[in-house]
Structure formats: structure tokens, C-alpha cells
Amino acid sequence: LNRRLAEFGTTIFAEMSALAVRTGSINLGQGFPDTDGPEEIREAAVRALRDGHGNQYPPGPGIPELRAAIADHQQRRYGLAHDPDTEVLVTAGATEAIAASLLALLEPGDEVIAFEPFYDSYAACIAMAGGRRVPLTLRAPDFRPDLDALRDAITPRTRLLLLNSPHNPTGMVLTREELTTIAELAVEHDLLVVTDEVYEHLVFEGEHIPLISLPGMRERTVSISSAGKTFSYTGWKVGWVTASAPLVAAVRTAKQYLTYVSAGPFQYAIAEALRLPDSYFDGFRADLRHKRDLLGDGLRAAGFSVYQPQGTYFITTDITPFGEKDAYAFCRALPERCGVVAVPNSVFYDDPDAGRSQVRFTFCKKEDVLREAAGRLRRLA
């Protein structure tokens, strides 16, 4: 393994999901639903496979039907106009979109500012692109970004801000005021911004505002989203980028040599999914809000300090009330203690103290699974 990647081993999600399988525990670690998304969308994928749609290399930027559906979604939901031919790119999940964006836009040595705790691929992709990550810590209990610290962190070497809202793992959702300040700083210092918005449809309080919709941001923002979260098909790995034509062209150049194209038949199905009526998106959000409250109550009853998330399908907790302070050790022992798996947030921070006692649970599971897990966690008391 080269020096750039030396600090990156097996991802925490693979490690904790393997632990769940090995111990037969309830897996509230890795964020994937235990119920598949809409049946008609699955049928659309089967139809595409059977009818030979996408079984051979699809077009590099994505099939036209999906690019048009993505552009229409941005228009219908946010009033954002994108040319489906030049301003939309289909990727192998948001993960490839993040990697291709950073590989395309960074010069070696460029500084990338990102709020920690960060989703684990950010640090690895910044490293692969030869960039230098500059973390700014989101602190409990609210995990609001410190925008004065952001201003102070910008140097002549800063090239890019890497943002994530709704934020995994804390559930923090950036407000319009915060986004406005971030946009002003980006314009003032001529920065690019890559925004990971994969949880755009999972906001329970407030609303999701795409940074690209703010003044001065249309030409400097790469917006990333994914079908995995919104339609509960995380295994299909359909993601996308929306941005100005020059930025999409840059990201497309990198994507060509990472995967060349993304898998075909699922693109047809997701093109249909994006055209589902608003009632689908509203129902999905309402279901997960209910599950958030169910698991949140269960975690509080079990004795955790709970940081209420405004979005995503994760709840961050603190284990200090149990007299413990090492989240990683706690998560490794949890299956044996009570048959539940969670993820330690500590691995998402560069600052070793910041998230040491934080543990993340996902609530994208069936209600009876969440109830059973909450009951098991009560044994910790």
C-alpha cells in the first residue's frame, strides 16, 4: 500500500457488518435499509434486464432517460435548471462521484476543508487525489459548523470545500444562514465546493437547501446525490453529479478512467423512480421520522445521551452515562453484551478527543427490529 493510503485499512462499515454477521447481532451499524424500495422500481429493473436495456455499455455520462429525470428532479424540487446533456453525470454511487470530483479538481498539495466527523471515503479520496485535508470539528450537542473557524482555516492553498448536508453521522442539516455564509466565503476566496447531498430527501426539521441554488454558487458547486438512500436500493450504486458544464466535463474525465460507465439496467429503473409522485418522497420521509423517534426513545430509555438528528437515518449518541469513553471498544463489545451492532463515530474524526465517546445507530430498519434492539440495549444499564 502506498504512503497516501497507508492510514486507511478496512472501512468501519465492513468491519462492523462482519461483526454483526459473525455474532448474529442486530445490525444498526452500516446504513442500509432492511426493506427494499418500491416494488414497481424493482420491476422496472427486471424489465430493463429482460428487454436488453443497458446490458451492453451504456453511454458514458449515463443513459439520456436518467439524465433527463435527474434534471427534472432538480427543477421540480428546487427550481434548478440543468442541461441533461452537459450538466448531469451518472456515477457508480455517490462514492464514485466524490472520488471522481476530487481526482478531477485537485492539484497535489491543494487544501480541502471538510467538517469532521466525515464520511470515511472523504479522507481516503482527498489522499488519493494528493490533497491535504483540513478538518473543522463539529461539536456536540448541536454539531453546528463554526463559520469563524472556517473563515480562519482558508489559506491561499485552499482549493475546495467538501460539504455534507444532511450530515452523516451527526444528522446536522445546514441552515440557509449557514449556507449563505459558506457561499459568501467561497465566492470571496474563489473556492470550489463539492456538496454531498445523498440524504436530501431525509430532512425531518427544516428543509434541504442545495448550496448550488445560492448566489454565486452555480459555477463553483459540484452537487452529488444518490439513488441508494432515496429509493432504498443501496446495492444498485446509482449516483449522480449536477454542476455547470465545465465542472461536469472535468468530473466526467476522471470518471471515464475509474469505471468508464455505470451499470446499465438500474439506470432505467432509477429514471422511473425519480418520477415517482411527491407522495412517495413524503411517505418515505414520514416513515423514517417515525423510526427516528422510536429508536431515539429506545436509546434514551437504555441510558444513552441522544443527539437528536434533523436529517439522515442515523442517531449519534454518547456513552459517557455508562461510565465508558472509548466508542470503538464499546462497539466491539456490544454484540457480546447485548446482541446489537453500532458504529463508533471516533473513526470519523482526525481529532482523537472530539468523538471518542460517540456511537452511531441507524434507524432504517423495520419497527420490530428497532424495538427488539432497544429492548436488548436496556440490558446495558
Distance CA 198, CA 69 (A): 16
Q: How far is the CB of 225 from ligand GLN (least distance, A)?
A: 13
Three-state secondary structure call for residue 62: coil
Which CB, 194 or 302, lies closer to ligand PMP?
Answer: 194
Cell reading at 102: 476530487
| Residues written for the chain | 381
Interface with ligand GLN in residues 207-266 (CB under 6 A): none
Which CB, 217 or 238, lies closer to ligand PMP?
Answer: 238
Quick check: 119 binds ligand PMP (CB under 6 A)? yes
Interface with ligand PMP in residues 128-187 (CB under 6 A): 164, 168
- Residue 226 binding: pick among ligand GLN, ligand PMP, none (C-beta 5-8 Å cut-off by kind): ligand PMP
Quick check: 168 binds ligand GLN (CB under 6 A)? yes
Cell reading at 323: 461510565
| Residue that has been written with the C-alpha cell 432509477 in this structure | 270
Distance CA 185, CA 214 (A): 12
Quick check: 94 binds ligand PMP (CB under 6 A)? yes
Q: What are phi and psi of 376, to 5 degrees?
A: -65, -40
- Residue 94 binding: pick among ligand GLN, ligand PMP, none (C-beta 5-8 Å cut-off by kind): ligand PMP
- Residue 232 binding: pick among ligand PMP, ligand GLN, none (C-beta 5-8 Å cut-off by kind): none
Which bin fits 310, alpha (ψ -120 to 50), beta or left (φ > 0)? alpha
| Residue that has been written with the C-alpha cell 454542476 in this structure | 243
Element (H, E) at 221: strand 221-226
Cell reading at 152: 480562519
Is residue 324 a contact partner of residue 218, using CB atoms and an 8 Å limit? Answer: no
Q: Kindly tell me which residue out of 93, 131, 171, 296 binds ligand PMP, with binding defined by CB under 6 A.
A: 93
Interface with ligand GLN in residues 4-33 (CB under 6 A): 11, 13, 30-31
Quick check: 198 binds ligand PMP (CB under 6 A)? yes
- Residue 25 binding: pick among ligand PMP, ligand GLN, none (C-beta 5-8 Å cut-off by kind): none
Q: How far is the CB of 237 from ligand PMP (least distance, A)?
A: 6
Q: For 170-308, where are the alpha helices, taking DSSP H only?
A: 176-188, 227-230, 245-258, 265-273, 278-302
Element (H, E) at 341: strand 340-341
| Three-class secondary structure assignment of 231-255 | CCCHHHCEEEEECCHHHHHHHHHHH
Q: Kindly tell me which residue out of 226, 267, 317, 362 binds ligand PMP, with binding defined by CB under 6 A.
A: 226
Q: How far is the CB of 243 from ligand PMP (least distance, A)?
A: 16
Which CB, 27 or 95, lies closer to ligand PMP?
Answer: 95
Start-to-end C-alpha separation, the chain: 43
Q: Kindly tell me which residue out of 158, 234, 242, 358 binds ligand PMP, with binding defined by CB under 6 A.
A: 234
Distance CA 139, CA 130 (A): 28
- Residue 30 binding: pick among ligand PMP, ligand GLN, none (C-beta 5-8 Å cut-off by kind): ligand GLN
Q: How far is the CB of 257 from ligand PMP (least distance, A)?
A: 18
Q: Residues in the site for ligand GLN, rule: CB under 6 A?
A: 11, 13, 30-31, 168
* Binding residues for ligand PMP (CB under 6 A): 93-95, 119, 164, 168, 196, 198, 226, 228, 234, 237, 239
